[in-house]
Chain A
């Protein structure tokens, strides 16, 4: 495949059927590439990872034109491995959304159907890979923001174990859940990019000194146990999606895996817990956007009005909704009922997973999303319906587990994703199984 540079992608995006996948493009002449595993490769980078040359806006008006004076560790590692940043990709504002529709710079479109969303929040990165603009892209995943758009766009998306990739320079949405993730046209592409950006970072106290991912290629899945959590396969899943997932299940069985039903009883409480914890952390993380030191300022005669005016002008409706929700969940008199209870549910969810993995399950197989890509605007007026899109992707974030979405074919021309969830730090097993799915399922690359 010939690699496209920023100029070629910019031209394609300028055409009437452009996807609005990018919010900025690098200068093609600026060649800072070096030798390394990614030598010369163009990589798209989500707009919430700090870059020195290009603005970092997080899809928000409050950061319009803001060029970070420091660089994210993941971006630095990408460059040091020889990769070149092609441009910054569109996203839901501060990562809050599942469709890229909350971006201040307009929604991105799904390359498979331009009336549909590419998913979110890393929708621009997923669309850029699916459209063939780049082979690889960086995203971030707080509750499914890499895996869900990967599923909607028919590409591979990996969210590693929490702590695998440094968050330094990743603009925080919900710090205990955020993790840098990778997209690829193939499992190998996504895994290669992950290898480059992974590893502990002294500037991120939550990054972990873990064994690097020991990749292995397997011909047979003999001896491997795949768990199917019943809570993820029952009602609420689109019939077409279910059919595709059953095909994946059979492919794994044919490949030699033992397939077994398991139960994760706390699953139903994952969304409520997530939509308390993530907004709570967000309400605090987004306090720094006050117009004092960087970014947008709306002038006003006194300090408090300036701060309020800046934030009211700079934040979109979904961001306001979540910081309000989060401030409420932490406020005096409600903390225990919401934040405290959500933390306990989070522990229960971790314990559920631990029990299943301790019982000998090597990897879990679930749909990535309940259905394929929805139409633009379809869920905009119903925040709760939008939140429920994340029902299968949120639990691994709450538990800090590695998870990925791998294409599982299409339904009526729309891609469907299969989600694999592995035990903590066991990305290698999950990725090996994904390669088997990739090889055996039609509609792959």
Chain B
């Protein structure tokens, strides 16, 4: 059974921000269908039971706040070298990127 088509794969590639060559797309479609077929075993999973998630944090109730940082983490970890050493491109302290299409393209009036 086909679970994803090449068109699906193209759509997912868009979400994942990767460009696929034609051969890659065919191969990924095949691989994903094979792997997803294997994942059908998940359908036998028992229905969700919310209590399962509760138990791990039961001991946290003592403090006012649980899951927050202790004061030792209040200081930022320092950068051994500033971004200009390792960033692909910087100018005046900014990271430089090519413009997004919305900036270069014309604007339609929506009203």
- Across the interface, do A294 and B87 meet the contact criterion of CB distance under 8 Å? yes
Decide if A308 touches B31 in the complex (CB within 8 Å).
no
What distance in Å separates the Cβ of B39 from its nearest Cβ neighbour in chain A? 4
Interface residue? A202 (CB, 8 A): yes
Q: Which residues of A contact B62 (CB under 8 A)?
A: none
A328 close to B12 (CB less than 8 A)? yes
Count of chain B residues with Cβ under 8 Å from any Cβ of A?
55
Q: In the complex, which of the residues A69, A275, A302, A315 contacts B98, with contact meaning CB atoms closer than 8 Å? A: A302
Contact A327-B12, Cβ < 8 Å, known A202-B73, A205-B69, A293-B95: yes
From the candidates A52, A325, A341, A384, name the one contacting B42 in the complex (CB within 8 A).
Answer: A341
Asked whether A321 and B77 contact (CB < 8 A) given A308-B18, A344-B46, the answer is no
A342 within 8 A of B: yes
CA distance A386 to B28 in the complex (A): 15
Distance of A52 Cα from B77 Cα, bound (Å): 13
B residues less than 8 Å from A292 (CB atoms): 88, 95, 97
Q: Is A66 a contact partner of B86 (Cβ separation < 8 A)?
A: yes
**CA A327 to CA B16, docked complex, whole Å:** 6
Interface: B99 (CB within 8 A): yes
Contact B41 A272 (CB under 8 A): yes
Contacts of B100 in A (CB 8 A): 302-304
Q: Is residue A438 within 8 Å, beta carbon to beta carbon, of the partner chain?
A: no
List residues of B (52-108) whose CB comes within 8 Å of A's CBs: 52, 67, 69-70, 72-73, 77-83, 85-89, 95, 97-101, 104
Q: Which of B4, B17, B31, B36 contacts A311 (CB 8 A)?
A: B17
- State in angstroms the CA–CA spacing of A315 and B19 once bound together: 11
Which of B36, B87, B101 touches A302 (beta carbons < 8 Å)?
B101
Which chain A positions have C-beta within 8 A of B28? 320-321, 324
- Contact partner, A312, options B19, B35, B86, Cβ 8 Å: B19
Encoded as 1 (CB less than 8 Å from any B CB) or 0, chain A from 281 to 324 comes to 00100010011111111011111111111011001010011011
A191–chain B nearest beta-carbon distance, Å:
26
Q: Which of B16, B52, B67 contacts A324 (CB 8 A)?
A: B16
Chain A residue at smallest Cβ distance from B39: A272
Cβ contact within 8 Å between A294 and B70:
no
How distant is the Cα of A140 from the Cα of B110 in the complex, in angstroms? 52
Count of interface residues, chain A, beta-carbon cutoff 8 Å: 62
Measured between beta carbons, the chain B residues less than 8 angstroms from A283 are 16
Q: How many whole Å from A241's CB to the nearest CB in chain B?
A: 23
Q: Is the CB of B15 within 8 A of A338?
A: no
For A276, the closest partner residue in chain B by CB is B39
A388 smallest CB distance to B (angstroms): 9
Query: Is B38 located at the chain interface by the 8 A CB criterion?
Result: yes
Q: What is the total of A-B residue contacts with beta carbons within 8 Å?
A: 154
Q: How far is the CB of A161 from the nearest CB of chain B, in Å? A: 13
Chain A residues near B77 (CB-CB < 8 A): 70, 203
Q: How far is the CA of A383 from the CA of B30 in the complex (A)?
A: 11
Smallest CB–CB gap between B105 and chain A, Å? 10
Chain A residues with CB under 8 Å of B17's CB are 287, 290, 304, 307-308, 311
With beta carbons under 8 angstroms apart, the residue of A69, A276, A296 that contacts B85 is A69
Q: Is the CB of A202 within 8 A of B72?
A: yes
Q: A384 contacts B97, CB within 8 Å?
A: no
Interface string of A373-403 (1 = CB under 8 A from B): 0000000000110010000000000000000
Residues in A with CB closer than 8 Å to B95 are 292-293
Q: A203-B77, A292-B95 are in contact. Are A345 and B42 (CB under 8 A)?
A: yes
CB distance from A287 to the nearest CB of B (A): 8
Determine whether the beta carbon of B41 is less than 8 Å from that of A384. Answer: no
User: Taking the complex as formed, is A356 at the interface, i.e. its CB lies under 8 A from any CB of chain B?
Assistant: no
Q: Is the CB of B69 within 8 A of A324?
A: no
Q: Is the CB of B81 within 8 A of A69?
A: yes
Q: Which of A69, A272, A315, A384 contacts B86 (CB 8 A)?
A: A69
Q: Which residues of B contact A325 (CB under 8 A)?
A: 32, 35-36
Residues of B within 8 A of A297 (CB): 88-89
Q: Is A158 an interface residue (CB 8 A)?
A: no
**In contact, A69 and B42 (Cβ under 8 angstroms):** no
- Known A293-B87, A344-B46; contact A312-B18, beta-carbon cutoff 8 A: yes
Q: Which residues of A contact B4 (CB under 8 A)?
A: 328
Decide: A347 near B24, CB < 8 A? Known: A70-B78, A275-B38, A331-B15: no
What are the residues of chain A within 8 A of B8 when measuring CB–CB?
A: 328
Instruction: Across the interface, name the chain A residue whose C-beta is closest to B82.
Output: A69
Q: How far is the CA of A296 from the CA of B85 in the complex (A)?
A: 14
- Complex CA gap A351/B49 in Å reads 12
Interface check B109, CB cutoff 8 A: no
- Write out, one digit per residue, whether chain A residues 258-281 have a CB within 8 A of any chain B CB (1) or not (0): 000000000011011101100000
- Please name 7 pairs of A and B residues whose Cβ atoms are closer than 8 Å in the assembled complex, sorted by A: A69-B82, A202-B72, A297-B88, A311-B17, A311-B19, A328-B8, A383-B31
Given contact pairs A294-B87, A305-B98, a sample of 17 additional A-B residue pairs in the complex whose CB atoms are under 8 Å apart: A202-B69, A202-B70, A268-B41, A293-B83, A293-B88, A293-B95, A294-B86, A306-B98, A311-B16, A320-B28, A325-B35, A325-B36, A341-B45, A344-B48, A347-B52, A384-B35, A387-B35
